[in-house]
Structure 1
Amino acid sequence: MTKYLILGGARSGKSSRAQSLAEAASPQRVFIATAEALDTEMADRIARHQADRGQGWRTLEVPLDLVSSIKANEGSDEFLLIDCLTLWLSNLFHHERDLAAEADALCEALSQSNCSIALVSNEIGLGLVPETSLGRKFRDAQGRLNQRVAKVCDQVEFVAAGLPLKLKG
């Protein structure tokens, strides 16, 4: 089973790319959402994503425990789409979780899973250096997480302007 990491900037088309991969691969799909609707704008964004997916998707809302969601689907024929690692990391930061331990557990679960999985993540290190210490810590943690996940994925793509560029696989 193939593991994909789809990277890109904001509104680059990375989620659409991951959705296309999932829909081409399997009629049985699970969307694992890490976002939480904490305000009206985010609730609207989530609703748009749900409408874009249409039929044929089962949705799980998993802001923190991705590993359990991956393990719970062991033995199934479902294609898992995790959107997105950046929001998951933000949730981990907010809940003061051990980022290295969480990344270790995620990479181990991905390596051991027999499901096809696409993970969406933001590439946030291409812009200006963040002004605050917290911003720099987050940017650095996101870069390290993306590198770790890329190592265990079979295919890695960078999406810009809706166009995927194959980096691995």
Structure 2
Amino acid sequence: MSIKLWKRYIALLVIGGILGGSTILFMYGREMEQMMLVKRSLEVLNEKLMDENQRLKQSEKVARRKQEVLIEEIRVTVLDTKLHETIELQVARQLEKDLASLKGKKVEQVAEVQEMLHEMLRRREYIIEGTMVEVRVKTVAISRILHLFVTAEVKREEP
């Protein structure tokens, strides 16, 4: 009888192992299924957000094209530095003051009147510290910053 008893214990052990393993596999399978569902929902959400991101980038590009670019600053650079530094600075300041009315204008508007701007500043004369200084425009760069490159030459000293 003892052999039958051992067979019974071994059979109960095997049946218990199979039932326990089946229970663990069932619970693990449910957990894996939930994780797969969460993963799939996150993938769908990611695709949706990527599409939205692309649409926003496209609309931003369109908005930038439509955005009006205004002149925010005027800079004057004096080439040929034969003049005293203070005279150069005062010439630059005077030109910036004369062109201050262009601030806030659209870049396209200023670009359309570029030839008139060149003509207006072709031969400009200023009296600075008793000295007649003639200013000539060499180059104009038009963007958010209107950048003028000019030459200045002392014509004559006032008595």
TM value normalised by structure 1: 0.20
TM value normalised by structure 2: 0.21
Q: Which structure carries more relative contact order (alpha carbon 8 Å, separation 6+)? A: 1
